[in-house]
Structure 1
């Protein structure tokens, strides 16, 4: 699977880049106690940090809020997924364990302060994913159970249309215990260098493979 970024995004957003990881022959199941414990402790630490500062003061949250605004999506109505996680924790509405893949995704989203999507590769169509801006009238049913407007939202699209975004993913390709092959998109901070981006992307991939087995390959894409 290849991934490309539409010029409409890179022309608007300086430094836009993503980490792209492909996994094959993985085993998704209940999270190991190590991951559950780290996720719980990390959320408690974040909760106490947020007593001293606001969510919008977090560097990655602020950078992605700016991206939404620059792309033409109201960040007050459409909060990116990393901001939504931090706001949950601020209310002490801690994330509950779902499965090993989703829990790890959430952990790294909090650690890197950016949206991260993970998708069941076998539910995607074609050999290319394009990151582009949603068009007028485009929608999909999200994992939030609602029909979501995609206009001016950065979306990941395959041959069948959009399936993911840094706002909320669609219900078309969620990762569950039946998933054997997956792709992961890290919506990196534009301020990061390519070298830093590669280091973070590889770190996530290595942790994922250590828990789920299988094989992983990664790349960082700028345009």
Structure 2
């Protein structure tokens, strides 16, 4: 798989760095040990963060800056990492979906990056391009219906948009039957070391909980 970062993104975030994790996996409806990890970080963050201070986390702050530069209000279309941590800090439960979705959420919470998790067998073509959403561009967010992605960073395959930092697309979402996983980490803060650490953390999680060897990852710019 090839990933291209467009000039549109380079112009608003010249330091962007991403990581793609690809693995063969076995998904399950629920994993108690994984949820022990989620609850542990939930307890930690409630001691350390507030709904205001979380916006200062490097990955979240940088994503919000890019939203503004692209013309999107980050308080109306919050990055997924911010959405998840806010729920924790507000005392709300994180939605339990299945093991793949839950572990991608944990990885996003732990590092503050908005992370897309995809069933790679649903991609059209072998190339993804990271650009900026256009007015009227059709996009169905997972559990959100049709989403206005104008001004949002968006990955597109040959057919159209598959993922934004706010919501991934229904068309390429992970399900209980997913066996070919691709996870994309969006480092709008340009911190390659932290992005790589996040990728290795995901490999560790899928090795522990998804009957996988952890797959492989690569950095892209």
TM-score by length of 1: 0.91
User: Is 2:100 the counterpart of 1:106?
Assistant: no
CA-atom RMSD in angstroms = 1.8
Matches within 5 A, 1:1-223: 1-24=1-24, 26-51=25-50, 54-192=53-191, 194-215=192-213, 216-222=215-221
Q: For 1:21-77, what per-residue CA distance to the aligned partner results, in whole angstroms no more than 9, with x for missing partners? A: 1112x1000343221111012112212323596332333221211121122211122
Provide the secondary structure at the position in 2 that maps to 1:136: coil
**Residue 169 and residue 21 in structure 1: after superposition, are their counterparts in 2 closer, same or farther (change >3 A)?**
same
Residue 5 (structure 1) shift:
0.8
After superposing the two structures, state which structure 1 stretch, 28-37 or 1-10, moved more. Answer: 28-37
Taking structure 1 as reference, are residues 16 and 52 closer, same or farther at Cα in structure 2, changes over 3 Å only? closer
1:144-189 Cα distance to aligned partner (Å, 9 max, x none): 3321111121111111100111011111111121001121101124
Q: Please list every run of 5 or more consecutive structure 2 residues that lacks an aligned counterpart in the other structure.
A: none
The alpha-carbon distance between structure 1 residues 199 and 51, as it changes in their structure 2 partners (threshold 3 A), is closer
- Gapped regions of structure 1 (runs ≥ 5): none
Distance in 2 between residues matched to 1:168 and 1:66, nearest whole Å: 17
The TM-score normalised by the length of structure 2 is 0.92
1:164/1:32 CA distance change after superposition, 3 Å? same
Preserved contact between residue 43 and residue 94 of structure 1 (Cα < 8 Å): no
For the residues of structure 1 that align with 2:193 and 2:46, how far apart are their CA atoms? Answer: 30
